[in-house]
Amino acid sequence: MPDAEIFVTNNTAIISDPHDPRLADRLLGFACEVRTIVRASGADPEKSSLLDGVFWSSDLQAATYERSREFDVDDIDAARLRLVADGLRTRYRQESVLTFEYLPSTSARADAIEVEVPGVSAQRLHDGLVADPEARDRLFGGSVTVRGGKLILVADRADATLVRAFVGTLGGDWSKANVHYGDREFVG
């Protein structure tokens, strides 16, 4: 396991069309830039996964889409993770950048969970958010890896029961889920 993950994009547009050509961008140059920034902070950037994000916009009352990347990061503490995320937020003009620091489930700081479930498409995530007001209001959205179709939900630990039920409505197999504990922060 890495020490932490950073979820970030360089997109500033609100995309409501799932066929928008911007959602085909593999963000390769962006990935290199982010790795350079992470490395310059003294941390060790590991693998990066291309993601299709689906999020609920309460302003639009509709689902929006986002192409982003998740970066595994080692040799980083909570303070430096926050600084790196804030630097990325500023550089790429984002409202916030999501971080997840892996912690033991017994840690007092482990206030969140990250759930990874194979076999769930971005379309099913979209349909689930549209159909479930509680999930969209409490979870806000999630991401699916472009390669392999793995659903990723980062949620408040208190919402674990909701996450499990939501995964089921999406057709995900909870017995194949990987659940990690940690500290989640929307930096910004």
Structure tokens that stand for 85 in this block: 């995320």
Whole-number pLDDT of residue 130 = 96
* pLDDT tens, residue by residue, 1-11: 999 999 999 99
E strand segments, the chain:
4-8, 44-57, 62-74, 97-102, 112-118, 141-145, 150-156, 178-187
pLDDT class for 43, splitting at 50, 70, 90? very high
- The pTM score is 0.96
* Rounded-to-integer distance, Cα 146 and Cα 163, Å: 21
Location of structure tokens 């926050």? 82
* pLDDT given for residue 18 in this prediction: 94
Which pLDDT band, with edges at 50, 70 and 90, does 86 fall under?
very high
Residue 133 is predicted with a pLDDT of 96
What pLDDT score was predicted for residue 61?
Answer: 92
- Rounded to the nearest 10 degrees, how much is the dihedral formed by the CA atoms of 48, 52, 159, 93? 80
Q: What is the mean pLDDT of the chain?
A: 97
pLDDT digits (tens, 9 = 90+) for 95-120: 999 999 999 999 999 999 999 999 99
CA–centroid distance for 109 within its chain:
19
Specify the pLDDT at position 78: 98
- The SS3 assignment for 18 reads coil
pLDDT, tens only, 129-170: 999 999 999 999 999 999 999 999 999 999 999 999 999 999
For residue 56 the two structure tokens come to 């609920």
Bridging pattern class, strands 141-145 and 150-156: antiparallel
Domain ranges of the chain: 4-187
Average pLDDT over residues 69-96: 98
Tokens of 47: 């693998």
| Rounded Cα distance, 40 and 152, in Å | 27
